[in-house]
Amino acid sequence: MCVSKNGDMAEQAGDPLFQSHDPIFDRKELLHVGHVPDEDRIVGRDDEIQSVAAEVGAITRGDPPNNVMIYGKTGTGKSLISRHVATRAQTAARDNEIDCGVLYIDCSEANTETRATRQLALSLKDQTGYQENIPLRGVGTMEYYQHIWRILEDCFDAIVVILDEIDKLDNSNILMQLSRAREAQKTDAYIGVIGISNKVKYRETLDERIDSSFGHRELFFHPYDASQLREIMRNREDAFQPDVLEDGTIELCAALAAKKHGDARKAIEILKEAGELARRTGSETVSEGHIQQAQEVAEINRIEELTSGATVHAKLALYALASRIITGDRETHKTREIYERYVDICNMVTTDPITENGLYRQLKEQAFLGVIESEKTGGGRSQGSYLLHRLVTDPKHIIKAVRRDDSLEELPAYDHLTETGHAASNRDVDLSSFS
């Protein structure tokens, strides 16, 4: 065994600066974002596993597979299930003496055809004893394809290629190249493609962009419900020390996540964050209160992410709507009402306001992103109709997310708004009480 001298000493001396025992987590890695759970920790996706296997499974019998596109929101298990099925297909194929490879490309990183083909070629080289040098730069797509075909020809009977987040690819030529490879006599190996996209809309662009050669089935993964999320988390309970998770914490975390998004990744992250919170505050257990707090942090992060590309005016508009909700007594507000508060706020942060119509467009954009909901209301025959806007999340989270923008941190904090709420809800009041 190799233990460094210093390490040994520190352990024996038990330097109190570093706890030798984590009081909250036992196997924290089970909660890491990139962690791939073992087969027996995958829950609630039996039908999906069957469906993906039905499309690519022919490979294991030496027959041509179907290509498949998987659609679904983030955190619905698309990447996990694809990798899982591909790996099982590989093992089953090998049992039948079929040389089957699995290639995984994250197209949010390899987002051009050149990058994607380079990565394909390099990971094929990695998996085989391919001797030829594959240059990292200075060569084009064609050269990478040639390496790919040569390796396939030499080393494989079949291959499953997972193209994750495929909508991030700048063009879909790779789909055509892969699906036509046999026909074009580039290789005899069967190629099965599993394409994954968070955007159902990608279907429409896909239809236009690729020709019928990429014949494929489509599968849709739905968000998890509370009981599935509960099972997914229960199966990772051993990330925590025994008896650290209080009764009801996993149930609460699952219920909150199911209500908001049904995203397993977020549910697991919240559970982990709750553990971190408990540890930071010296608590011996993780309580429902920790889950609530962790959920709040996650929600603020989500809003910040959603609005990261938004203009300062859109953020000020969101802030204006949130502050009206906090200081008033209604959930919904007209564009005009939001605009009035927005103009006041612009004065506070010495920004020139845009027009009411401009603000209206910013609000529409936020409705599109899912931060607010806008609904047309008839104001009676003489008044015409108008839009009413509401926040889809707690206004407190909006205030916090907007104030994370460096240029907007001087805006009043949530606590300040609630304290001065009554005065600020009256527009005629001097806004110094508001700042």
Binding annotation: 76-80, 224, 236
Q: Which two tokens stand for residue 202?
A: 């990608």
Q: Which residue intervals of 156-238 are DSSP H helices? A: 173-180, 202-209, 226-234
- Tell me the pairing of strands 372-378 and 216-221: unpaired
Q: Closest CB to Mg ion among 163 and 191?
A: 163
Whether 157 contacts 182, CB under 8 Å: no
Which residue number has the CB closest to ligand ADP?
77
Tell me the closest approach of the beta carbon of residue 112 to Mg ion, in angstroms: 19
Cα–Cα dist 316/434, whole Å: 15
Name the segment binding Mg ion (CB under 5 A); options: 41-49, 79-87, 199-207, 281-289.
Answer: 79-87
65 binds, among ligand ADP, Mg ion, none (CB under 5 to 8 A by kind): none
Q: Which two tokens stand for residue 192?
A: 């099965």
Q: Which residue intervals of 328-369 are DSSP H helices? A: 335-348, 356-369
Name the segment binding Mg ion (CB under 5 A); options: 48-56, 72-80, 151-159, 398-406.
Answer: 72-80
41 binds, among ligand ADP, Mg ion, none (CB under 5 to 8 A by kind): ligand ADP
DSSP 420: S
DSSP 295: H
Q: Closest CB to ligand ADP among 74 and 351?
A: 74
Tell me the closest approach of the beta carbon of residue 81 to ligand ADP, in angstroms: 7
> Interface residues with ligand ADP (CB under 6 A)?
35, 37, 41-45, 72, 74-80, 232, 264-265, 268
45 binds, among ligand ADP, Mg ion, none (CB under 5 to 8 A by kind): ligand ADP
> Which residues are part of a known binding site for ATP?
76-80, 224, 236
Q: Closest CB to ligand ADP among 65 and 223?
A: 223
Residue with tokens 């909250």: 24
Q: Closest CB to ligand ADP among 189 and 219?
A: 219
Could you give phi then psi for residue 73, rounded to 5 degrees?
-65, 170
Name the segment binding Mg ion (CB under 5 A); options: 77-85, 141-149, 176-184, 228-236.
Answer: 77-85
72 binds, among Mg ion, ligand ADP, none (CB under 5 to 8 A by kind): ligand ADP
Cα–Cα dist 419/428, whole Å: 18
Q: Closest CB to ligand ADP among 34 and 242?
A: 34
Residue 274, judged by CB atoms within 10 A of its CB (0-12, 13-18, 19+), counts as buried
232 binds, among Mg ion, ligand ADP, none (CB under 5 to 8 A by kind): ligand ADP
Cα–Cα dist 231/43, whole Å: 7
Q: Closest CB to ligand ADP among 75 and 412?
A: 75
Whether 307 contacts 402, CB under 8 Å: yes
Which helix H or strand E contains 301, and what residues bound it?
helix 288-306
Q: Which two tokens stand for residue 211?
A: 């020709």
Rule CB under 5 A: say whether 79 interacts with Mg ion. yes
Tell me the closest approach of the beta carbon of residue 386 to Mg ion, in angstroms: 41
Site residues (vs Mg ion, CB under 5 A): 79
